[in-house]
A and B are shown apart, each in its own frame.
Chain A
Amino acid sequence: MEVAPAADSEVIICRCERVTKEMIEEYLRGSGSRDFNAIKAALRTGMGPCGGKTCAELTLRLFRELGVDPKTVTPPVHRPFTQEVPMKAFLVEGNGGSSV
């Protein structure tokens, strides 16, 4: 006998934006989408400060669990910058003080 599966509403996939497994599954079932970017737009998965570095793999696994071949999934678009860069890095020396 199997253990009853954990409630998907308790399982966080995207830590930055607190998106649960249940939310992504519902969205994928409802929309039939095969595009990672659509999930980003709809739920903000992968749109937080880490830039999808933690949840991208887990989300691809969800596609697989729903019977979708990961090869048919449009991957998320990565744009510069790959990580946060403080505005200060672009400013004239001494401008903006330490508060930028």
Chain B
Amino acid sequence: MTPNRVERHPILEVPQHPEMVKFSFDGRELEARRSEVISSALFANGIQVFGYHRRDGSPQGIFCANGQCAQCLVLADGLPVKACITPVRPGMDVRPLEGLPELLADDAPLHLRREIPQVETDVLVVGGGPAGLTAAAELGEHGVKCIVCDDKQELGGKLSLQTHNFFGSVDDCYAGVRGNDIGKVLEQHARAQRSVELWTSSPVVGVFQDGIVGVDRQGRFTVVRPRCMLVAAGAREKALAFPGADLPGVYGAGAFQTLVNRDLVKPSERLFIIGGGNVGLIVAYQALQAGIDVVGLAEAMPEVGGYKVHKDKILRLGVPVYTSHTVLRVEGAGRVERIVIARADEKFRPVAGTELSFEVDTVLVAVGLSSVNELYEEGRRLGMKVFSAGDAHEIAEASAAMFSGKIVAREILKELGQPAEIPADWLTIQSMLRSHPGPVLGYYPPPPDMAVYPIIRCAQEIPCNPCTDVCITDGIVIPEGNLLGRPKLVGDCVGCLKCVAICPGLAISLVDRRHDPTRTVARVTVPWEMPEELVRVGDVVPTTGFEGEPVGTGKVFRILSGKSLNRRRLMVLEVPYADAEKVAGVRIRAPETPSAPWRSRPPPTAR
């Protein structure tokens, strides 16, 4: 085992004896997990600089880890490849790309295939993520011939990176289930359809004016002639331009999720996150789950763009969120050593004298996504019958992507001349699922004089309803009557804890006042998804309110776990009777004071 692997994880299953293969980097023999990609294998071996740029010798590492950016080029058995999408083969000779690779000595003439394989199908689906798989399953149910092409080895797209319970509606998009589990379910649905073919490691690489589509089908160029094409290729992470943005150690939040959640690599000890959308906020939480310290998160706007519950859960754990702050630069000799941020004025200009510096080894960029829609645009230009769904159509949550796949599949059925209806309520659900987080309205307080009751701190309009579904007394309802409304306890509570266990926002705690007639202590149960070794039964821990404000201390009375809890553990705390309604979490990291403005080098002069 190396120190750069995730060896324990509260949610993910870590294989205890993974099969290892040998490969070499720059002549050094190393080990990789069988079929993991080169970039993850190098990170697991503590190598984050993959080569030096041919133009200026600058060190190169990963940025997207998603096959989009080419920053991670290496020479594998003599050929330049993207390390993040190329699996390690046993005995592979991997070398850094320094300068331009030498031409191969072998210059014998090549024999091109005379016949390029051609395949006809009704629908070609580009991308086997939430939108593409849902659409394919829907089309397959109607007997439509369908080929799903995905550039990765595994299907599920970015669902495989999502370890958290999904928001959304229980009936329509697996709310309350973890994203990586949803990916597997969707794949099974698509696989169960006889008319659906799934091509993995098969990127779609071009559309041509005669309506055919080129696919690199597992290393063999193949053309597909579809009647319709559905582009469900997802999104790529946006880059941000600042001094030091190109240093190894600055990379996308999605790249981090790929390393940690998909490949179980531990790439960092201390990191900082730029961007307070859902991706940035969730990644902060996921880093802590993997035992990586999150020193802070900066957001240029006065409020984070992601769900309030995602922000609150990292505040409770002790991660500071710097709103109205912008990144000035990232510094380091050859790799990240520190980040400097500053307060931003209303025009997002940094304010002098407000600089804060943090010593970190990694900076994650989470400033939004842009649609992967080149094939869609090109298909349209060439007059193909082309559709788009999911993030390739519009950036939104994966729950919205699944639903959009379902709706677009019906549109395609119509295009193919099949009778198909799009139920009116589908469009309503769709618009709710893709809506941005609404205003923070405050939460419904629990009814008075109950001995055991949940406090549902769901204060913002977001599309989500699993708590109403699991309550065994049907005591939780959404008075607004729709998915966006906030839940309210109106009926009985028997203390079954199901709502605490399922709430994707970790926004429900259970107060239990039944155990101490002297009214000295009460029990509070909060969801707990952090590494086991951090908190043990019997520990006295610092308690916080819902938004991270310190409350006092509590004693860990019990930690519940079990299959029915969906890998979430529940921490039962004994707290002073008067604190019971205030306590919503436990802090795991002490707030630190960032260094004063870093003065190791003079500030750049204005020109």
Cβ contact within 8 Å between A88 and B208: no
Cβ contact within 8 Å between A48 and B112: no
Cβ contact within 8 Å between B350 and A2: yes
Cβ contact within 8 Å between B606 and A17: no
With a CB–CB cut-off of 8 A, which chain B residues contact A10? 243-244, 329, 604
**Which of B56-64, B316-324, B385-393, B400-408 binds A?**
B56-64
Q: How far is the CA of A12 from the CA of B244 in the complex (A)?
A: 8
Q: Does residue B241 face the partner (Cβ distance < 8 Å to A)?
A: yes
Other-chain contact of B53, A18, A55, A86, A99 (Cβ < 8 Å): A18
**Which residues of B (41-97) have their CB < 8 Å from a CB of A?**
53, 55-56, 58, 63-64, 67-71, 73, 77-80, 82
CB nearest to A21 among chain B residues: B241
Q: Does residue A40 face the partner (Cβ distance < 8 Å to B)?
A: no
**Given contact pairs A12-B246, A99-B79, A100-B110, A57 touches B238 in the complex (Cβ within 8 A):** yes
**Which of B178-186, B216-224, B282-290, B519-527 binds A?**
B216-224
Q: Does residue A73 face the partner (Cβ distance < 8 Å to B)?
A: no
With a CB–CB cut-off of 8 A, which chain A residues contact B329? 6, 10
With a CB–CB cut-off of 8 A, which chain B residues contact A7? 243, 604, 607
Give min CB distance, A89 to chain B, whole Å.
Answer: 4
Give min CB distance, A3 to chain B, whole Å.
Answer: 4
**Which residues of A (39-68) have their CB < 8 Å from a CB of B?**
48-50, 53-55, 57-58, 61
Chain A contact patch, size range: 35 or more
Q: Does residue B483 face the partner (Cβ distance < 8 Å to A)?
A: no
Q: Does residue A31 face the partner (Cβ distance < 8 Å to B)?
A: no
Other-chain contact of B241, A11, A49, A82, A84 (Cβ < 8 Å): A11
**Which residues of B (243-262) have their CB < 8 Å from a CB of A?**
243-246
Q: Does residue B206 face the partner (Cβ distance < 8 Å to A)?
A: yes
Q: Does residue B605 face the partner (Cβ distance < 8 Å to A)?
A: yes
Give min CB distance, B77 to chain A, whole Å.
Answer: 6
Cβ contact within 8 Å between B113 and A92: yes
Does more than half of chain A's interface fall in helix, strand or loop, or is it mixed? loop
Cβ contact within 8 Å between A54 and B68: yes
Q: Does residue B1 face the partner (Cβ distance < 8 Å to A)?
A: no
Cβ contact within 8 Å between B605 and A98: no
Other-chain contact of A12, B70, B220, B236, B241 (Cβ < 8 Å): B241
**Given contact pairs A58-B239, A91-B113, A82 touches B375 in the complex (Cβ within 8 A):** yes
Cβ contact within 8 Å between A85 and B246: no
Q: Does residue A38 face the partner (Cβ distance < 8 Å to B)?
A: no
Q: How far is the CA of A93 from the CA of B500 in the complex (A)?
A: 57
Other-chain contact of A3, B53, B352, B375 (Cβ < 8 Å): B352
CB nearest to A61 among chain B residues: B241
**Given contact pairs A7-B607, A54-B64, A80-B208, A1 touches B353 in the complex (Cβ within 8 A):** yes
Q: List 18 A-B contacts (CB under 8 A).
A: A3-B328, A6-B604, A7-B607, A11-B242, A12-B246, A15-B71, A18-B56, A50-B71, A81-B205, A85-B216, A85-B221, A87-B110, A89-B220, A90-B113, A96-B110, A99-B78, A99-B104, A100-B104
**Which residues of B (190-229) have their CB < 8 Å from a CB of A?**
203-208, 214, 216, 219-221
Q: How far is the CA of A10 from the CA of B479 in the complex (A)?
A: 54
Q: How far is the CA of A93 from the CA of B116 in the complex (A)?
A: 12
With a CB–CB cut-off of 8 A, which chain A residues contact B351? 1-3
Cβ contact within 8 Å between A54 and B242: no
**Given contact pairs A80-B207, A82-B205, A91 touches B68 in the complex (Cβ within 8 A):** no
Cβ contact within 8 Å between B245 and A49: no
**Given contact pairs A16-B70, A82-B206, A99-B79, A57 touches B370 in the complex (Cβ within 8 A):** yes
Q: How many A-B residue pairs have CB under 8 A?
A: 141
Residues of B within 8 A of A (CB): 53, 55-56, 58, 63-64, 67-71, 73, 77-80, 82, 104, 106, 110-113, 116, 151, 203-208, 214, 216, 219-221, 236, 238-239, 241-246, 328-329, 342, 345, 349-353, 355, 370, 374-375, 377-378, 603-607
Give min CB distance, B24 to chain A, whole Å.
Answer: 16
Q: Does residue A5 face the partner (Cβ distance < 8 Å to B)?
A: yes
Q: How far is the CA of A39 from the CA of B378 in the complex (A)?
A: 21
With a CB–CB cut-off of 8 A, which chain A residues contact B208? 80
With a CB–CB cut-off of 8 A, which chain B residues contact A85? 205, 214, 216, 221
Other-chain contact of B68, A6, A11, A53, A99 (Cβ < 8 Å): A53
**Given contact pairs A2-B350, A48-B70, A81-B206, A57 touches B607 in the complex (Cβ within 8 A):** no
Cβ contact within 8 Å between A90 and B53: no
With a CB–CB cut-off of 8 A, which chain B residues contact A82? 204-206, 374-375
With a CB–CB cut-off of 8 A, which chain B residues contact A49? 70, 73, 80, 82
Cβ contact within 8 Å between B69 and A53: yes
Other-chain contact of B69, A50, A58, A81, A88 (Cβ < 8 Å): A50
Cβ contact within 8 Å between B55 and A3: no
Q: How far is the CA of A57 from the CA of B235 in the complex (A)?
A: 13
With a CB–CB cut-off of 8 A, which chain B residues contact A97? 106
With a CB–CB cut-off of 8 A, which chain B residues contact A4? 603-606
With a CB–CB cut-off of 8 A, which chain A residues contact B69? 15-16, 50, 53-54
Cβ contact within 8 Å between B239 and A3: no
Known: A11-B242, A15-B246. 6 other contacts (CB 8 A): A4-B603, A5-B604, A49-B80, A90-B116, A91-B112, A95-B110
Give min CB distance, B353 to chain A, whole Å.
Answer: 7
Other-chain contact of A81, B53, B56, B214, B345 (Cβ < 8 Å): B214
